[in-house]
Amino acid sequence: MKNIAGKTILITGAAMGMGKMYAQLAVQEKAGAIVLWDINEDALTETAAGLTAAGGNVSTYVVDVADRQQIEKAAAQVRADVGNPDIVFNNAGVVRGNSYFWETDNARDTEFTMKINSLAPMFIAREFLPGMIESGNESRLINVASAAGLTANPRMAAYAGSKWAAIGWSDSVRLELEQAGHDKVKVTTVCPYYISTGMFEGAKSAPLLPILKPEDVVNEVWKEMKKGSPFVIMPKTVLLGEAMKGIVPTSIRDFLAGRVLGVYKTMEDFTGRK
């Protein structure tokens, strides 16, 4: 996929931050239709106005992706209004951290996190994948997970668990599409380290693991999305932790990550978006 000119793209969590940045790139590349989902109606309206002024063909839907029925209703409306999207960015996400798991709240922390970070991408993909397959066109499903889904980390157990689930599901769908011969539908799983947005306010960097700039992540994901790459992992040093799992005993890996590199202390001052 050289560009997305004429394509229909749907982005969740699109009212601000990186979701908005993906939408801006879609306008620049002359997407045929840009569908924005977000729970924040005021921010969504403001973002849509700016994108429309820049020449985008924009549709907005106020959707709480923690609610499966809202997802199903909005998806049906999108299909009726603009047709099935060619590209879906499962970008919406939440972060809960700086508490030990036994100190968290089942509803406010664990259930809420799992609904948005794990279940919502599954439900959304289930709504639109059949149409992507049936169209026979080049299509893309981008699922934004996290490097936290590749390695354990204290004070973010529910968040890490939600992203581990997202990664396992997302890459399994990629394999299923390949196995079924649907080669034109590509799945990209995105696994960045902490990003300097309000969501990760207070999270700390660690040696070899700098806090990422949102524009760098967006540009890299956009490039790899068009290629149909299976994974986007940033920074590449995240892969060192993956390699160590198969080589280094857990006790040594914990010592290196916790005592030497300080990775296990990166969420101690986390506050998140106020």
Give catalytic residue positions.
159
The rounded distance, in Å, linking the Cα atoms of 244 and 111 is 31
Continuous segment of H or E residues that includes residue 33: strand 33-38
CA distances from 216 to 21, 22, 195, 212, 232 (A): 11, 12, 10, 7, 12
> In this structure, which amino acid lies at residue 265?
K
Q: Which of 91, 156, 87, 157 is nearest to 120 (CA)?
A: 91
- Say what angle helices 68-81 and 120-135 make with each other, to 10 degrees: 30
The rounded distance, in Å, linking the Cα atoms of 249 and 134 is 47
